[in-house]
């Protein structure tokens, strides 16, 4: 899985508007056919219409990531990584998906952009979790370079 950091989060970090240690972050699954734009998808409102519909074990805009992400400075590769615990959804009564990826956004920040998008996680193709199975996103990590 590859992740693409949004341009808006870089701006928010530079202005001191994001605190990865104390802000609340959510993750959402995107509907089939969604294509992420790091320059035009700034906040949750910009992508909410393309979020996967509620049903079969998935509920829109409700999955909060772990409260204490691991923040790592990497001087060898000249980057910083933010990592959260795995997240899961259990498919019930039908399949979850198909979904091409997930978006992480900061649910705490309200200005200058409400709920700024941190990154898009590209699954490398449409993924579907069959009824009764568990959809898991493992090793959730965003790299700031």
Give the HSE-up count for residue 86: Cα atoms under 13 Å, Cβ half-sphere. Answer: 8
Q: How far apart are CA 120 and CA 47, in angstroms?
A: 11
Structure confidence by residue, pLDDT tens digits, 75-94: 999 999 999 999 999 999 99
Q: How confident is the model at residue 140 (pLDDT cuts 50, 70, 90)?
A: very high
Q: Evaluate if residue 26 carries a pLDDT over 90.
A: yes
Q: Which residue has the higher pLDDT, 53 or 109?
A: 53
Can you give the pLDDT at residue 12?
85
Phi-psi region of 103 (alpha: psi -120 to 50; beta: other; left: phi over 0): beta
12 preceded by a cis bond (ω within 30 of 0): no
Structure confidence by residue, pLDDT tens digits, 36-72: 999 999 999 999 999 999 999 999 999 999 988 999 9
Tokens of 99: 């979904």
Domain segments of the chain as ranges: 2-144
């Amino acid at each position: 899985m590859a992740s693409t950091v949004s341009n808006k989060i870089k701006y928010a970090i530079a202005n001191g508007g994001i605190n990865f240690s104390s802000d609340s972050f959510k993750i959402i699954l995107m509907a089939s056919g969604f294509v992420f734009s790091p320059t035009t998808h700034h906040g949750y409102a910009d992508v909410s219409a393309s979020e996967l519909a509620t049903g079969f074990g998935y509920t829109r805009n409700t999955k909060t990531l772990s409260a204490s992400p691991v923040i790592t400075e990497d001087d060898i590769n000249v980057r910083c990584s933010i990592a959260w615990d795995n997240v899961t959804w259990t498919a019930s009564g039908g399949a979850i998906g198909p979904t091409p990826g997930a978006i992480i956004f900061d649910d705490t920040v309200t200005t200058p952009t409400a709920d700024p998008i941190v990154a898009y996680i590209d699954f490398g193709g449409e993924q579907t979790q069959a009824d009764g199975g568990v959809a898991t996103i493992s090793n959730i990590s965003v790299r700031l370079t």
